[in-house]
Every structure is written in structure tokens, then in C-alpha cells.
Structure 1
């Protein structure tokens, strides 16, 4: 009789990362190994390994004799992350336009179609996945390894910020239009337009993020 599949530490790490990203585990929430082991159906060693990995990613803080907790991102750090992303991704968009191929165009258009479907279905989770996939494909096309590595280290933090912004009424629709402008410019090989479109998109994201931060200070978000 075959044994049931065992859950690998990487799977637990991914599930915990997703829970933190989507706000199911809140900033500064204590992460009790025994409770998490019961929730995810694994042993405490798996949880310990996952927490160590998430600590390295900056999502979890482990303190001696106090256990672990979800790392909170300060308002100032959230803005810094968004500003850093903007500075890098406008360059990446221009480089993608300069290096676009027919295969790259096809990939971008396919992801854009998935993004449209997610917005039409009001599926926030699918929207987030497609949004991330589109930005990663642009990075792949650009072929800037240094930029990709930096953005990779910020990715999970950016997802946490994105889930704050996506709650604004009309944001998925406006974001879809902004992404269309980016994709269209890249597919046309117009570096200046691609850079401008990405700047507009991420400037809009930052403006909404600042609104979310201000609202949270007054108990509204």
C-alpha cells in the first residue's frame, strides 16, 4: 500500500508566505510552532524550517526566548519599497521594448488576456497572480539579471502592498488599462512609451498606497 505524500518544508513555506502576503497572518502576529503545525498538518520541524526561511526573506522575525512573529513593514519602508520598484521597473520596461521578440509579444498578450478575465470575474487572487506574471515576463524579456535579482528580493513585500491597494474601488479596472498601455508600448518596441507607461502605472500605485497608509492611521483601512 503506497504511503501518503509527505508535505515538504518548501510547501509549508509557500503556504505560510501566501498567508502573510494576503494578510491572513497579520503584522506582528505571533507564530506559534505547535499551532501552525496543527493548522498545516505537519510536524514542528517543518514549521521551524519554514520560519527560518521566511526570516531570511524578511517576512518573519524570530526573537530569542520569544518565538516568531510576522514582520511588520513600517509606513516609511513601504514607500521606500514602492519607490525602489518604480526606479528599476521603468528601466526594465524600456529594455523589454528594445529587446522584444515575437515570442515575447505572444506571452505578454496571453497574460494580458488572463488579466482581463480576472478583472471581469472580480477575482482578486487571480488578478494578483496575473499582475505578478506580467511584470515577471517583462523582466524576463528585458534580460537584466541584476534588476531581476533586486526585484525578486522585494517581490513578497510588494505583494503585501498590492493587496492593500487592490481594495480601492475601481483599482483593478484602472490597473488593467495601465497594463495595456505598457504591453502595447513594449510590443511596438517603443522604449520611451514603455518607460512612460510603466512610470504612470507605478506612480498611480504609489499614490494609492499612500492613501491606504493615511487611511490606516485614522482607522479606515
Structure 2
């Protein structure tokens, strides 16, 4: 893996030398997944030459992928030492989530004011799928619905500046959100919060939608802190 010898744990499977070279977008996706899942750990060095060999990518595509991940806050550039996986403390993750709460509450409020009949049905359908996922204990389906719901709300809101800021913030705290999503019982706990957000927007009640979103992300912040304290 593109790491120094002192930090070589968590290596994904090496690509065969005969494999086609991956694109910068694909490499970025694979590195992002490795960071989120914990295969690549905080402060782990990412060396361009090693990454190129490990993933079958060109050096140019490696640089593009690292630049993109840097903009998302997942890695950081260190002078004279290259790139490394960015370490985010639990306290910083909580603060990031609190800022997200303010921005996503704004988006939920705006979405309630702008939502169309078609979008209302889309939101309710996501809610039905998330409910079914909890019923069948399908964490993967629930997580997919969670991501889809938040993305759709931001899209409906039309708040482009907030959308870009939320994307960066979410990327920085994504490891903690991943751990939280794996916590037993968490989907059942967060489902009513998501359904309340959906109901507020679909009822075109801007205050209810904003309050429900704020309550949800407050809960996420509390759970991140509790999970890290007990770890």
C-alpha cells in the first residue's frame, strides 16, 4: 500500500500487474472507502509511487485523487513528507457535526418551502425503504437510504453554498459516522428522527423540518462522543 514501512497495516488487495490502469475517480473512490472503513488509519502516510504500484494507477491519476481527497478533508499534505490520512479527534468530529446541524437544518427548512409533489413522494418512498430496512435488520440498505435522504433534501433546498460546505464537513468526520452506523440498534434509534424530518418537509412545515434535522444531528453528535468515550 502507499504507506511508509512504519505504517503498513490495513493493506487492501494488490491489483495484478496486468490490470488496466484505474482512473483518478476510481482511485479516489477506493482510497475514500479504505479511509472510511479503517483500512487506512489516521496519520498513515500515502506515498505516490507506492499507491501507483498498489492500485495500478498512473502517478498523474494518483496526484489527482490525492488532491480531491485533500479538498474533502480526508487527507492532508505535510511539508517535505507528502500526504497522510488526516487524523480527526472525537471532539473535532462532534464540532463538525454540530456545524452540519446548523447548515442541514437550513436546507431542511428551505426544502420544506420548495418541495414539489413528485419530491414528496420520493421522500416518502425513501422513508418506507428505511423503515423496511430496520424491520429486516438490513444495515446496508438503511445506510444507503440515509445517504440518499440527506442528499435529496440538500438538492431540493437549492442551497449550493451549503451543499459544498456540508460535503467537506461530512468527509472530515466520516470515519466516526461509519463507526456509529455499525453500532447495534442505531438504525432503529435514528429512524424516527429521519421520519420526522421527512414529515416536516412533506407537510411543508419549515420550522418542523429544521427542528427535526437539528434534533437528528444533535443526536449524532452525542452518540459520537459517547461511542468514543466508551471505546
Instruction: Say whether 1:22 aligns with 2:21.
Output: no
Q: How does 1:186-201 map to 2 (within 5 A)?
A: 186-201=201-216
The DSSP-based 3-state class of the residue aligned with 2:151 is: helix
1:182 corresponds in structure 2 to 197
Aligned counterparts of 1:86 and 1:21: Cα–Cα separation in 2: 21
* CA apart distance, 1:6: 4.6
Q: How does 1:24-103 map to 2 (within 5 A)?
A: 24-103=39-118
**Cα distance, 1:24–1:83 mapped onto 2, change above 3 Å:** same
Aligned counterparts of 1:7 and 1:110: Cα–Cα separation in 2: 35
169, 182, 185: which one aligns with 1:167 = 182
TM-score (norm 1): 0.85
Aligned counterparts of 1:7 and 1:71: Cα–Cα separation in 2: 24
List gaps (5 residues or longer) in structure 2.
1-18
* CA apart distance, 1:142: 1.6
1:208 corresponds in structure 2 to 223
Aligned counterparts of 2:41 and 2:23: Cα–Cα separation in 1: 24
The DSSP-based 3-state class of the residue aligned with 1:72 is: coil
Contact 1:55–1:61 (Cα < 8 Å) also in 2: yes
Contact 1:60–1:71 (Cα < 8 Å) also in 2: yes
* CA apart distance, 1:12: 0.5
Contact 1:21–1:157 (Cα < 8 Å) also in 2: no
| Larger deviation, residues 130-139 vs 192-201 | 192-201
126, 129, 134: which one aligns with 1:119 = 134
Aligned counterparts of 1:125 and 1:159: Cα–Cα separation in 2: 16
Aligned counterparts of 2:27 and 2:48: Cα–Cα separation in 1: 12
| Larger deviation, residues 169-178 vs 111-120 | 111-120
Instruction: Say whether 1:7 aligns with 2:22.
Output: yes
* CA apart distance, 1:182: 1.0
TM-score (norm 2): 0.82
After superposition, the CA RMSD in angstroms is 2.2
